[in-house]
Structure 1
Amino acid sequence: MLEWIVGLIPALPLAAGLWIGVAILLGRASGEAHERRTSRIALTACGASFVAALALVVARFAGQLPEQVALGPWLSSGDYRVEWNFVTDHLSLALLVLTSLACLLVARFSVNYMHREAGFHRFFMILSLFAAAMSLLAMGGNAVLTFVGWEIAGLCSYLLIAFFQDRSVAAGNATRAFVTNRIGDAGFLLGIALSFHWLGNVDWRTITAGAEHFNPAQAGMLAGCFLLAAVAKSAQVPLAPWLARAMEGPTPSSALFYGAVMVHAGVYLVLRLQPLFEQSPAVMAAMAVVGLATALYGFLSGLAQTDIKSALIFSTSGQVGLMFLTCGLGFWRLALVHLCCHAVFRGYQFLSAPSILHQLHGERTRPVPAFLARRRGAYVAALQRFWLEDFANWSIVRPMHRLAGYLSVFDTAVVDRTTGLPAPAVNALSSLAQWEERQLGAGRVLERAPDAIDRGQGIVGRFTEWTAAVFHRVEEQLVFKAVGQGIVTTSHRMGYGLSRVERWLGRSWTWIAVMAVILAALVGIGELLHEGEPGAGPADFPLSSALLGVPLIGMIAAWRVRQARTAFALGATVAVVELILTLAVLARFQPHAPGMQFVEQIEILPWLGVHLGIDGLSVLFLPLTALLTLFVMLYAQPRQREQAGVFVGCVLALEAALLGMFTALNLLQFWLFALVEAIPATWLIARFGTSPGRGRAAWQFARSMLGGLAMLLAGIVLLAWNHAAATDDGAWSFDLPALLATPVPGSRQSLIFILLFAGLAVRLALFPLHAWLPIVAKHGTVAAGMVFLVGAKVGIYALLRFVLPLLPAAARQWDVAIVALGLAGMLYGALLAFIRTDLRRLLAFAVISHTGALVAGLFSLTASGFKGGLLLSLNLGLAAAGLFIVAGLLHHRLGTTRFHRLGGLFDVAPLLGLTFLVVVLGSIAMPGTPGFEAAHLALEGMFESYGWGVAIVAASGNVLAAGYLLWAYQRIFLARNPKGATLSVTDLRSWELIVAGLLCAVIVGVGLYADPWIETISGAVEQVARVFERDAGH
């Protein structure tokens, strides 16, 4: 019974927050008429939570409540386990009762204070979520569960600081506060990774007990990570300035967050880890110094303030600093008593502040104390808040912007020209931008036809042009001259025949009959292709073939459909059927079965055959590809009216090629699918792009892909040549099992590895081979986004499927260089994203940054790193899809995605803003999204292989991502339009709402319960990891 009470304490306010949120979305909670119902829901949940907390206290005094309550498993990966366990000792219960009481009182106070405010219902929704987060933080029995509450509380703080969305200062302060807290969150994550690595567990009891066995360096490192988290959350020097910025929110939230509860979360974390800190006197000394400095900072700065809320917040900062000082000096119980008394007293002061201001009737506040006024230097320092923000701007923000500017010049002058991209004019999107480009001397390029093609430029351009010339020469000499004029006559006859077939398929009913016939044929040939592997019995439906056949049939049927409605009905039907098939594969997939499943094979030539199969590396990519295809169909349906059949056919062809790559067990077959994929992708960019530069963008994309494919083909041919040399009969083979049976000697692996990795790096848009991505993102269509949301992630899959198992020695030899390249790309993309002025280009550099991070995690060459890299690529596919869909919707509505033409859109399009925020949170690995578990696993892998220094650099990428993505959210949805114009934008509607709802539901649903997905990929990933364990053993 008591276990369920423990679970209800955070569950009740969480349910209330979700209830109010759903009511807002459905239009059932708006205006003054629904205020009473909303407030009652929140008050009932907070009141019940408080009563449950009191019941736990009574049970604790009666001796009926243990100190630890376990409700069951939550996450597992290899030897790592995280459970739903809660701590109910005196420290947790004290903070729990304090938190639940404060939330109840502030909720009741807010009923009158927020009456008739435009955001009344939104305020109570966030307040309820905050109550659940703080309950989880106070009772979490392990570091991961506490971190979830920690992060959600920070998110609620961000939302309430930016509560008044018509104030640009509030939006800026919210972003600054959140990014500052992310610095501490990175320290918390590193602490979790260290705990897993050294102790194998993150339960608080295990960490505190294991601290006795740490050496001073280990204890200091682990304690320092958690101290950084505490310093950021409790606004201690030098990260103190964000607390004063947080006063932009409503007074009740200021009282609850920064007077009574959240500002003390850092002190609670330090108290929770008392035994750990006692093992590191150096960290305790640092804690005392930080606390003393913050106390002085808060005291002196508070004396110079002229408004009551600012004076109270600096007083709060000083008092919390004294708590850190007492903890650093070893007076732990005194710090706990101080925390409880200060929370009650300060919360009351904040709630009383509006009444005091009303009673003063504009009277002047107290003058500056005489002793401070006489010391001008101290007075100026107090007024300037000791220049902490100026120091942060001078030492961090400005150097980052300066470095980003240099990197932008490098990207344009070196990377673009080396890879053969055109002049800067290709980035022009509007007439104003084109005029700006003409001032830079690039106007002549724009004056040409949008589809004009230049001669090859740069290394990739010249290489591709030379390759094309060679192929043309071979075709002319060996094909046309050898075969003669007869081939022309035959081609004409075939063309007329195919035209009749296309006219027949253009009828609206034909595609249904064709699909039924082909599916029946697939069942009939199942015996021929079936190999009898686990997961596919002899009489089973050939799912692997059906996955490829359905979109191909849909493509053929859609190609000549004339009516847009018919074309998109066909496309949506095929996408739904394909999604059902991929879910059927996922449902029948056996994670613990060895080897490949759903295997189908047929030999065409001795060296070429169709070999399909699915395992843990590919099984999750299949529904992701099908889901994104469905999103594209639903998104494009109301917009794409011209040549709709061609558009749908290209999207389905793209889907078939991607699924073919994910199921291919033959390297030449994989390469052919990759080559085929480039054709509809190029056509989508060239024909359906959103700007005059789409033709040139398509050409640059095609050149980049062909260059990468050429290197990939060279590596594949060398692998087949090695197989022929190692076998008695000298037969060539591109089949993966055959190549694994004839390993490449270590001395020959490096060249093949470099060719394969470089070819896949182009697909991944990995720095410095990324130059095609920003131009395609800006000038292409959302449908082309499949190329770099899923298609680019084929690179990660191919590395795990082919490159690493076949060339382990070379991977070991080059792993440090590739990790360095990945981390450099992560920082490079993040810094350039900060200075972008267009949303779509910002998102392109965000993808480049995330790609660098996941490649670095992958080349830790550990099971954790493999799982993290694979899951990060899946998460990036989902989150980036949402970001690019929102960017496409904005461009369709406003004709631009430039920041200086946007602003304040949340007021007119709240659902669009909410969708963008959810996918942003998924991109920055917030708890409750798939990126949270993936980022932790990747960080764990890098720490295992390269130590804490590399792990810190990797964690910094998450901080930077929070900065540039939330900055974009602020510029688009919160801050007012710089020109003061009120933009007229329609909110999500009909199919758009379905796409947004499905996307957010998948992100949150998968993120909340990621254990099945981790288990699904674990078997295949650990099999790859064992290759490197054996290699390390030798």
Structure 2
Amino acid sequence: MTSDQLASWLASISIAAPALLATVFCVSSLVSTRLSERTTARLTELCVVTGLVTAFGVLVIMLWTGSRHVVVELGNWAAVHDAIEHDDYHFHFKFVFDRLSVPFVLLTYVLVGTVGAFGSRYLHRERGFHRFFAQYGLFLLGMVMAALAGTVETLFFGWELVGLSSALLVGYFHDRPAPVRNAQRVWSVYRFADAAFLVAAVAMHQCAGGGDFSAMMGEGAWPYGHASIEPGAALAIGLLLLTAAAGKSGLLPFSEWVPRAMEGPTPSSAIFYGALSVHLGAYLLLRVSPLLESSHLLQVAVVTLGLASAVYGAVVARAQTDIKTAIAFASVTQVGLITAEIGLGLRYLALVHLVGHACLRTLQLLRAPSLLDDRRTIEDALGGRLVNQVDATELSPFRRWLYRFSLNRGSLDAWIDRLVVNPFISLFATARDAEERWLDCLRRDTPPKPAAPVPTTPVAEAEVA
């Protein structure tokens, strides 16, 4: 077996491991076959370790042979012929191990494995233990697909799996109204971002004749060369992708869903909104970075949005009174800085920053519950609260205004409700009402079925008598 064949074989196993994990967990939930907690934890450990070891093996082979990328082709899963343009729109599954995807997929396996081990103990005897790990498996599969995607279709598929599992885990405690409402908010923002991504994907197909990143962004592997899309089209597509990245990563004006997503259990908060899911928008911008360099105006927009989000997150985080919300806005700050670095063309710096920040936030969020317990122990020993008292009358008018702005989070909640969440809910409520009216009309038009005759058996006749 040659080194290329071995690398392709290991790469295929690295992709198949999370798919197997998600399939087993989801099928067992559908057929009501409950796995024991020990079996669930062991299966999670086996699949994550297998994926991590094989992905690391691919990296070793790439370094040994000097290869820039390893490709796994699964072919076209769907194709639609356009009779007018004489072209085909196809759903092409392709996975690529390159300088961008390998560090990100290794980071995914390490952090997801850490959170899986933590969650199997943190959620011990929890009523939704198996539901958590079924959604955990979907998230892992989505992250691996998005990280290794070689086409925009594959990336969008993984993007959707991540969004679905994230929103479901925000509403994990669905017996309380607050998690359900916040899950609805997260899902509404995700739908808005996904719509922008989908339009951008169709436009990329139209401009480049396909969704393969190596064809659109320049031949070869990441960081590619120069994008093959015209500057005007690159600006329009880039703004759509920037909107999608802002929605997924909690950049302005969508930052408010990040602290609300902390309604889920601590393991999901750590892996989704502190480590991986919140960085997926930045990863998308890294993947299409040659497209950003095709338009200076687009680069300015990316840098401006990143810096504005970083300033907003830094200011608001200092006025929050709970640890999870403070960490959430601190994450917004760092993701904003990563986005600005991408806009400035500092690709490798942004990648290193992303990896380091993801590890730090995972550690902080997993440590948060025990940290609060330690703080209460210290306060009980001291006989008072560890709070810095500040006299508001000593603050300047500008600092008082800034404190009110930070405490209210810039009133972004009201704007997002008005512009995104409420129209989304109203649209689907209208569609539901229309469907119910249509079904009522079908019921009225359908004549009722005649009643089945009652059997006249001797037993029935005796009972009537």
| TM tier relative to shorter chain | 0.7 to 0.9
Aligned length: 419
Q: Is contact 2:189–2:421 with CA below 8 Å preserved after alignment?
A: no
Instruction: Name the aligned partner's letter for residue 54 of structure 2.
Output: A
Aligned to 2:359: 344
Query: Could you tell me which amino acid in structure 1 is paired with residue 161 of structure 2?
Result: I
Q: Structure 2 counterpart of 1:111, which letter?
A: S
| TM-fit CA distance, 1:106 | 0.6
Deviation of the 1:113 alpha carbon: 0.6
Q: Which of 15, 21, 24 is matched with 1:16 structurally? A: 21
Distance 1:352 1:60, change over 3 A: same
Distance 1:367 1:217, change over 3 A: farther
- Amino acid corresponding to residue 305 of structure 2 in structure 1: V
Pair 1:216 & 2:231 matched: yes
* 8 Å CA contact retained: 2:208, 2:229: no
Tell me, in whole angstroms, the C-alpha distance in 1 between the residues paired with 2:215 and 2:322. 46
Show CA shifts across 1:241-269 (max 9, x none).
11111000010111111111111111111
Q: Secondary structure at the match of 2:174?
A: coil
Match 1:331 to one of 346, 356, 362: 346
Q: 2:461 maps to which residue?
A: none
Secondary structure of the residue aligned to 1:118 is: coil
| Residues 744-792 of structure 1: CA deviation (Å, up to 9, x unaligned) | xxxxxxxxxxxxxxxxxxxxx9xxxxx997545246549969xxxxxxx
Question: Match of 2:65?
Answer: 63
Q: Is the 8 A contact 1:303 1:368 kept in 2?
A: no
Could you tell me which residue of structure 2 aligns to residue 265 of structure 1? 280
CA distance in 1, matches of 2:9, 2:120: 30
Q: Secondary structure at the match of 2:65?
A: coil
C-alpha contact (below 8 Å) 1:50/1:104 kept by paired residues: no
- Cα deviation, residue 64, structure 1: 6.5
Aligned to 2:3: none
Aligned identity (percent) is: 35
Matches within 5 A, 1:871-1020: none
Q: Report the equivalent of 1:92.
A: 101
Q: What does residue 77 of structure 1 align with?
A: 80
**Distance change >3 Å, CA 231–CA 26, structure 1 → 2:** same
Which one of 290, 313, 317 corresponds to residue 302 of structure 1? 317
1:145 aligns with 2:148: no
Give, in whole Å, the separation in 1 of the partners of 2:133 and 2:425.
Answer: 38
Q: Does 1:165 align with 2:174?
A: yes
Per-residue CA distance 1:938-981 (angstroms, 9 max, x = gap)? xxxxxxxxxxxxxxxxxxxxxxxxxxxxxxxxxxxxxxxxxxxx
Aligned to 1:356: 371
1:45 matched residue in structure 2: 47
Give the C-alpha shift of residue 70 in structure 1: 3.5
1:209 partner SS: coil
Query: Is residue 777 from structure 1 mapped to residue 445 from structure 2 by the alignment?
Result: no
CA 1:157–1:367 in structure 2 vs 1: closer, same or farther (change >3 Å)? farther
Say whether the 8 Å CA contact 2:215–2:228 is kept in structure 1: no
For residues 772 and 299 of structure 1, the distance between their equivalents in structure 2, rounded to whole angstroms, comes to: 45
Partner of 1:320: 335
Shift of 1:213: 4.4
Shift of 1:9: 1.9
Q: Secondary structure at the match of 1:71?
A: strand
Offset of 1:53 from its aligned partner? 1.3
- What amino acid maps onto 2:79 in structure 1? S
Could you tell me which amino acid in structure 2 is paired with residue 45 of structure 1?
Answer: C
**Do the aligned partners of residues 101 and 277 (structure 1) sit closer, same or farther apart at CA in structure 2, a change above 3 Å counting?**
same
Is 1:286 aligned to 2:288, yes or no? no
Determine the C-alpha separation between the residues in 1 that align with 2:444 and 2:201.
38
Residue 127 of structure 2 is matched in structure 1 by: 118
Q: Please give the alpha-carbon distance, in whole angstroms, between the structure 2 residues aligned to 1:141 and 1:280.
A: 23
How far residue 402 of structure 1 moved from its aligned partner, in angstroms, is 9.4
State how 1:220-239 maps to structure 2 within 5 Å: 220-239=235-254
In the alignment, is residue 382 of structure 1 matched against residue 406 of structure 2? yes
Which is bigger in relative contact order (C-alpha 8 A, separation at least 6)?
Answer: 2
Distance 2:434 2:236 in 1: 42
Contact 1:10/1:131 (8 A) holds in 2: no
SS, match of residue 84 in structure 1? strand
Alpha-carbon separation, structure 1, partners of 2:342 and 2:164: 27
TM-score by length of 1: 0.39
Q: 1:36-86: CA deviations, max 9, x gaps?
A: 111111111111111111111111111265514142312333333443321
- Counterpart amino acid of residue 168 in structure 1: P
- In structure 2, the residue matched to 1:6 is 11
Query: How far apart in 2 are the matches of 1:203 and 1:349?
Result: 37
Amino acid at match of 2:245: A
Matched, 1:103 2:118: no
| Counterpart among 256, 261, 269 of residue 254 in structure 1 | 269
Cα distance in 1 between the residues matched to 2:15 and 2:9: 11
In structure 2, what is the equivalent of residue 133 of structure 1? 142
CA-atom RMSD, angstroms? 2.8
Q: 1:218 to 1:404 in 2, by over 3 A?
A: closer
Question: 8 Å contact 1:56–1:65 — kept in the other structure?
Answer: no
In structure 2, relative to structure 1, the CA distance for the partners of 1:119 and 1:373 (3 Å cut) is farther
Indicate how the Cα distance of structure 1 residues 110 and 216 shifts in structure 2: closer, same or farther if over 3 A, else same: same
Contact 1:140 1:146 in 2 (8 A): yes
Distance of 2:360 and 2:38 partners within structure 1: 29
* CA distance in 2 between partners of 1:784 and 1:367 (Å): 72
C-alpha displacement at 1:17, in angstroms?
2.2
Listed as ranges, the matches of 1:315-464 within 5 Å are 315-361=330-376, 363=379, 364=385, 366-367=387-388, 374=396, 375-395=399-419
Contact kept in structure 2, 1:86 and 1:140, CA below 8 Å: yes
Kindly indicate whether the alpha-carbon contact (under 8 Å) linking 1:53 and 1:100 is maintained by their aligned counterparts in 2.
no
Opposite residue 42 of structure 2, the aligned amino acid is R
Counterpart contact for 1:137–1:148, Cα < 8 Å: yes
Contact preservation (8 Å) 1:291, 1:324: yes
| TM-score, scaled to structure 2 | 0.83
Contact 1:161 1:174 in 2 (8 A): yes
Task: Report what 2:456 is aligned to.
Answer: none
CA 1:40 to 1:394, structure 2 compared with 1: closer, same or farther past 3 Å? same
Q: Which of residues 190, 201, 207 in structure 2 aligns to 1:192?
A: 201
Are the counterparts in 2 of residues 8 and 49 from structure 1 also a CA contact under 8 Å? yes
Aligned position for 1:25: 30
Deviations along 1:579-638, one digit per CA (max 9) or x if unpaired, are xxxxxxxxxxxxxxxxxxxxxxxxxxxxxxxxxxxxxxxxxxxxxxxxxxxxxxxxxxxx
SS in 1 for 2:217: helix
**By how many angstroms is 1:23 displaced?**
2.4
Structure 1, unpaired ranges of 5+: 409-764, 766-770, 786-1034
User: Please, which of 241, 244, 257 is the counterpart of residue 256 of structure 2?
Assistant: 241
Per the alignment, do residues 19 and 274 of structure 1 end up closer, same or farther by CA in structure 2, a change over 3 Å counting? same
Change (3 A) 1:26 1:404: closer
- The 3 A distance-change label for structure 1 pair 369 and 57 is farther
Q: 1:399 to 1:157 in 2, by over 3 A?
A: closer
Shift of 1:103: 0.7
List alignment gaps of at least 5 residues for structure 2: 1-5, 82-87, 220-225, 380-384, 448-465
Alpha-carbon shift at residue 194 of structure 1 (Å):
0.9
Q: Residues 384-442 of structure 1, C-alpha deviation per residue, up to 9 Å, x if partnerless?
A: 1011111223455568899999xx9xxxxxxxxxxxxxxxxxxxxxxxxxxxxxxxxxx
Report the residue type matching 1:218 in the other structure: A
**Distance in 1 separating the partners of 2:434 and 2:239:** 42
Q: Distance in 2 between matches of 1:370 and 1:95?
A: 46
1:307, 1:365 within 8 Å by CA — same for their partners in 2? no
Partners of 1:190 and 1:225 within 8 A in 2: yes
| 77 and 387 in structure 1: CA distance in 2 versus 1, 3 angstrom threshold | same
User: Which residue of 2 is the match for residue 512 of structure 1?
Assistant: none
**Residues 475-531 of structure 1: CA deviation (Å, up to 9, x unaligned):** xxxxxxxxxxxxxxxxxxxxxxxxxxxxxxxxxxxxxxxxxxxxxxxxxxxxxxxxx
In 1, Cα distance between the equivalents of 2:143 and 2:62?
20
